[in-house]
Amino acid sequence: VEILERSRDPVILPRAVGLDGESVRAFQRIGLGDEVAALCQPPRARDEVTFTNSRRERLFGMEIPRVGANGWRDIAFFDQPELEAFLRRQVEQDDRIAVCLGREVTKIAQSADEVVLHSRDASGGAEQEHRAAYAIGADGASSFVRRAIGSEWKSLGYDQDWLVVDIVQGPDAELPLVTMQVCDPVRLTTYVCVKDPNRRWEFQRLDGETREELLRPEKIRELLRPWVAPEHYEIRRAAVYQFHAAIAERWRVGRVCLAGDAAHQTPPFLGQGLNTGFRDAVNLGWKLPLVLAKQCDARLLDSYAAERDAHSRDLVEWAVALGQLMETLAAREAGEPDPYPTDQRSGYGQGRSAPPLRGGVLVTEQCNGAHPAGELLRQPTVRRPDGSECRFDELLGPGFSVVGRRPSDLRMGAGARGVLQRLQGRSVSLEGLEVVAGASDLLFDEHPALVLRPDRYVFGVVDDAFDLDRLLAELAQKLALC
């Protein structure tokens, strides 16, 4: 793997601030879950995310559990410079990865067999040529790669300027320990109780205000004064961003794929921008090796856009709905008509949950509310018969797996066993395992066994129409197994 990175220096200011349980679970799969979790804010006495009125009185919200469905916290706050420095160290220790810092890609061409990229030193040096089987453009919202493959943005209807202010609080700041969406008719405000000792605010730009006005030190002090006195903080960063909702028109053209902010932009109200990008990387991370090893035909990569586009769109639209709910609640407090159709389900803890996958490498017939294909499998902590404890994924290995209630539920014919062996998958029985934290997935109450993908999404379950033999045959077909 060769990484071409335009910047020479690591990030020194915070941007993303929250990791969800699925992202930490992905790091767990490559042996880094505990180390990444250790970089995050430890659980506080009560971690809560809420909607409030202008007086910061709670309207509704939810408490963040200490352990979520993925076996990790549903959201854990981190400091981006710390996490990025850690990940850079991991990359430097891997001899399979070459990192070229200060290289800006200027040209991309591809044939049936390879991608050819040209880059130049960001400070104006000579051009270099790079050849690869595939290229992934993870070069941000203003992506050169996206433009080079002719993929346009599809707007999802949200474009607003917000001032983002990060501070380091002093010991006597006495700021709330609750993350808030403040639905104030005067100015919508988000307050995020990020990793100590840092805190973040996002202030909506009002009509008639300029970006330059918002960035004046006296304006920032004015906005923060109702929360904290100037002597109790230092400003770490202040910037005006356009909160934008959009999805790339095409995620893949030939041997070039888009990922991260190059493929999707979302308002930050759900904290899913970075996490959605991680899902892109995980999706490509298990499919590309199968194609490069010639275990699967390149048609497998057609499922990348099929899976990630719809899933990302669901999350972006949810974030937009959350922002619109803030505006609606603020309007009601001011005695004005609702500016948007009411959808309180989009608020924290109000019924809306993480979307499933809706297509791609799944049993299509089981992608509906009555079946769990496309859902993430819950990950409890279990005690094995020898008394040792582990998170359930440790038993599954990094690849595909077949999971059953009992050893007898894992019986399959020679053809199905051959598919699992070619994929270096595992068969795992729940018998003899005791759940000591979290909960087993309720799908095992209805289904004796399932096939699980490397990213821990359910490929399909055993039911009246599908036994394990048919499930593994379907998997081979969906993967375009060679």
Contact between 472 and 433 (Cβ < 8 Å):
no
Q: Any idea which fold 364-478 has?
A: Glutaredoxin (3.40.30)
State mean pLDDT over 273-295.
97
Cβ-based burial of 300 (10 A; exposed 0-12, middle 13-18, buried ≥19): buried
pLDDT score, position 371 = 81
Confidence grade of residue 10 (pLDDT, cut at 50, 70, 90): confident
Mean pLDDT score across all residues of the chain? 95
| pLDDT 10s digits, 11-49 | 888 899 999 999 999 999 999 999 999 999 999 988 999
| Sign of the C-alpha dihedral computed for residues 257, 308, 322 and 268 taken in this order | negative
State mean pLDDT over 314-343.
94
Residue in this structure with the two tokens 């709670």, named with its chain if needed: 58
Query: Does residue 386 have a pLDDT over 90?
Result: yes
Of 42-51, 245-254, 350-359, 421-430, minimum mean pLDDT range: 350-359
Encoding tokens for residue 260? 């991260």
> In CATH, what is the architecture of 2-44+61-151+247-300?
3-Layer(bba) Sandwich (3.50)
pLDDT score, position 48 = 95
pLDDT score, position 360 = 96
CB count in 10 Å sphere of residue 188: 22
Packing angle between helix 302-333 and helix 273-292, nearest 10 degrees? Answer: 170
State mean pLDDT over 336-355.
86
Query: Does residue 370 have a pLDDT over 80?
Result: no
pLDDT score, position 236 = 96
User: Is the bond preceding residue 43 a cis peptide, omega within 30 degrees?
Assistant: no
Of 9-18, 219-228, 345-354, minimum mean pLDDT range: 345-354
- CA–CA dist 279, 472 (Å, integer): 24
Q: Any idea which fold 155-245 has?
A: D-Amino Acid Oxidase; Chain A, domain 2 (3.30.9)
In the chain, where the domains are located: 2-44+61-151+247-300, 155-245, 364-478
Query: Does residue 125 have a pLDDT over 90?
Result: no
What percentage of residues in the chain have a pLDDT greater than 90?
A: 92
Confidence grade of residue 344 (pLDDT, cut at 50, 70, 90): confident
Residue type, 8: R
Q: Please, what is the end-to-end C-alpha distance for the chain in angstroms?
A: 24
Residue in this structure with the two tokens 């917000």, named with its chain if needed: 162
pLDDT score, position 354 = 86
Which strands, in side-by-side order, build the sheet including 264-265? 58-63, 48-52, 178-182, 189-192, 198-204, 153-169, 233-248, 264-265
Closest C-alpha among 318, 308, 446 to residue 370: 446
Long-range CB contact pairs, 6-11, < 8 A, 24+: 6/102, 6/103, 6/104, 6/122, 6/139, 7/101, 7/102, 7/122, 8/101, 8/102, 8/122, 10/81, 10/84, 10/85, 10/88, 11/80, 11/81, 11/84
- CA–CA dist 214, 162 (Å, integer): 9
Closest C-alpha among 380, 455, 451, 445 to residue 416: 451
